[in-house]
Structure 1
Amino acid sequence: MTPFLLSLFVTLGAAPAVRSLLLRGGILDVPNHRSSHVLPTPRGGGLACLLGVVVALASAQALGVRVPWLAAVAAIALGAIGFADDRAGLSPVVRLSGQVAGGLLMGVAAGGGWLLVAGAVITPVVVNIVNFMDGINGITSLSVGVWGATAWLLGVSVGAEPLWVLGAATAGAALGFLPWNAPTARLFLGDVGSYLFGGLVAAGIVVGLETEASPLVLTAPLALYLADTGTVLVRRAARAAPLMEAHCEHAYQRLTSVVRLPHIAVALLVAGMASVVTAAWALLAWEAALLVTAVVCIAFVLSPSVGRGRATDKTPALRTTR
């Protein structure tokens, strides 16, 4: 419990100072035609989360908990790459190279061998999915919070200290940032935050492969992220659209822009559905869990089309707060 609480309160307490520094440095997310927000907002709030995670892990180490420092440092380094991208922009090759290198370090932390390949593949996928999905208020904090709680409980249940401490620190930082991002955003995570959280999730999955923790339960909280991102990439590839170009085609984006649901309602929907999928993999036979996952993911991906009837031409456009 101590790593979770420290991560939560340090993140929550550091956020005002981080916001002030970002404002003074002019590090702002300025809205454009693809944005889900309407006001310039400081980008880089993930620095507060990074501080919360470091303090939490250091305290756990002091209390005698076995902390997977190499994997954690890899995730923190990914956060630093994200911050460099927030400030100056990095080429896709540099970003991908950093993600693969971070994954290799996680593989080393987990024991080497085939886990090196697992880390090099899992890390870029998870980091980019979290980055792609970080587009509305609260979605990353709530969804990563679900993953953190899952890793925490799963790690405790199988006696895997490195897994549960990563989960507890991640959940604390994610939920500590939430009041600054939702329902009204005073801070955005920025790439520093999405890369950090993506790195921590990847680190937990890779480190978890060395334990008795079920990898299916550990990845289940990402099911909706994978479904949403995967369907968008397939649709864009089918019409030869650039896969890495910014867009507003995700189901969660269309739920806010077309169906006109509030950001926090969509973020809660995603986190709630992810929790259902995770519970299914934890409690049911794999056949039933797979059926639940398919039904939930399909329902979410199709939800903007089903809900479009609620929005008519006479309905005023929702002014989002992100």
Structure 2
Amino acid sequence: MGHDPSWWSIVGACVLAVVGLADDRASLPAVARLGAQVAVGTVAGFALGGFWAAAAGMLLVPAVVNAVNFMDGINGITSLTMTVWGVSALAVGVASGVGSLIVIGAAAAGGSLGFLPYNAPRARMFLGDVGSYLFGGLAATGVLLAGTRTTSVAVVLAPLALYAADTGFALVRRAVRRESLTQAHREHVYQQLTSGLGFAHLPVAAAVAFLSAFITVVAWALPSTAGAAVIALLLVLYLLSPTMLRAKSARVRGSKS
């Protein structure tokens, strides 16, 4: 077990899943959840790459796990997006000859696709914290693995860019208004598109996954500077999409009146 880096990712993700299960059942304090995430990130990072990777894991694991948790609010969105992440990690593993990354990517993609029929288009089951912590843990430790074993960590990070942007944008807006960052809300872009503008869950979830896949292709195919510029533009357009759609709807209503 100690010689195969994939075990550190799998065990870390399973530990986080247990924390998520406990939170589903007993509503753990935020400090306990964050502490577990930091601990898993630190231990997994150190095992995979020493002190610098431990420092990266201490920040990366809580960030990714919570982004996945916050974004898992409509049917199919995390199953589809984590499928994209898993396929991307698997592809990088194949291209780089890193078998452990192939294992992590296959586990994430297989688990996501296996759960999808139960969650979309009509939800009979939900991931809950246990599922979102599991997939977030796989993705975060998979990024650490890619960072220590390949030169393509940007490609493994790319499918998570939209989740990170949406989560960060919502938290910044709430912080500016001095609202609680831990209180439940419906200010994410995907929530504005569904609850606010009336789009069905599955088309929005599919659009998020498609854009995440396109961002990944851009990160893989374009030079770093050009790729970063294109990705930034795509993320800005996504973040502004509810505002643009509301403005378009207002113009249409105005032209009919």
What's the TM-score, normalizing by structure 1? Answer: 0.75
Give secondary structure in 2 for the equivalent of 1:247.
coil
CA contact (8 A) 2:5 2:48 kept: no
Q: Distance in 1 between matches of 2:144 and 2:129?
A: 22
Which residue of the other structure, out of 45, 55, 63, is the alignment partner of 1:107? 45
Shift of 1:209: 1.3
Which residue of the other structure, out of 96, 101, 109, is the alignment partner of 1:171? 109
List per-residue Cα deviations over 1:24-53 (Å, max 9, x = no partner). Answer: xxxxxxxxxxxxxxxxxxxxxxxxxxxxxx
Residue of structure 2 equivalent to 1:256: 194
- 5 Å matches for 1:183-222? 183-222=121-160
Q: Distance in 1 between matches of 2:201 and 2:6?
A: 35
Q: Distance in 2 between matches of 1:186 and 1:241?
A: 33
List per-residue Cα deviations over 1:216-245 (Å, max 9, x = no partner). Answer: 111000111111111111111111000111
Q: Distance in 1 between matches of 2:62 and 2:11?
A: 16
List per-residue Cα deviations over 1:84-131 (Å, max 9, x = no partner). Answer: 000111001100010011101211331322111111110000000000
CA contact (8 A) 1:67 1:161 kept: no
CA 1:68–1:109: 2 relative to 1, 3 Å: farther
List per-residue Cα deviations over 1:226-281 (Å, max 9, x = no partner). Answer: 11111111111111000111000000000001221110000010011111111011
Shift of 1:67: 5.5
- 5 Å matches for 1:10-21? none
Q: Distance in 1 between matches of 2:200 and 2:249?
A: 13
Structure 1 residue ranges without an equivalent (≥5): 1-60, 313-322
Residue of structure 2 equivalent to 1:304: 242
**What letter matches 1:190 in structure 2?**
G
Structure 2 residue ranges without an equivalent (≥5): 251-257
Q: Distance in 1 between matches of 2:37 and 2:56?
A: 13
**What letter matches 1:116 in structure 2?**
A
Q: Distance in 2 between matches of 1:256 and 1:310?
A: 16
Residue of structure 2 equivalent to 1:246: 184
- 5 Å matches for 1:89-104? 89-104=27-42
- 5 Å matches for 1:138-149? 138-149=76-87
CA contact (8 A) 2:9 2:104 kept: no
CA contact (8 A) 1:259 1:310 kept: no
Q: How big is the alpha-carbon RMSD for the aligned residues of Structure 1 and Structure 2?
A: 1.7
Residue of structure 1 equivalent to 2:26: 88
Q: Distance in 1 between matches of 2:6 and 2:217?
A: 26
Sequence identity percentage: 49
Residue of structure 2 equivalent to 1:232: 170
Residue of structure 1 equivalent to 2:253: none
CA contact (8 A) 1:232 1:250 kept: yes
**What letter matches 2:111 in structure 1?**
A
**What letter matches 2:220 in structure 1?**
A
**What letter matches 1:146 in structure 2?**
V
CA contact (8 A) 2:86 2:109 kept: yes
Give secondary structure in 2 for the equivalent of 1:240.
coil
Q: Distance in 2 between matches of 1:273 and 1:133?
A: 15
CA contact (8 A) 1:103 1:122 kept: yes
Q: Which runs of 4+ in 1 moved over 3 A?
A: 309-312
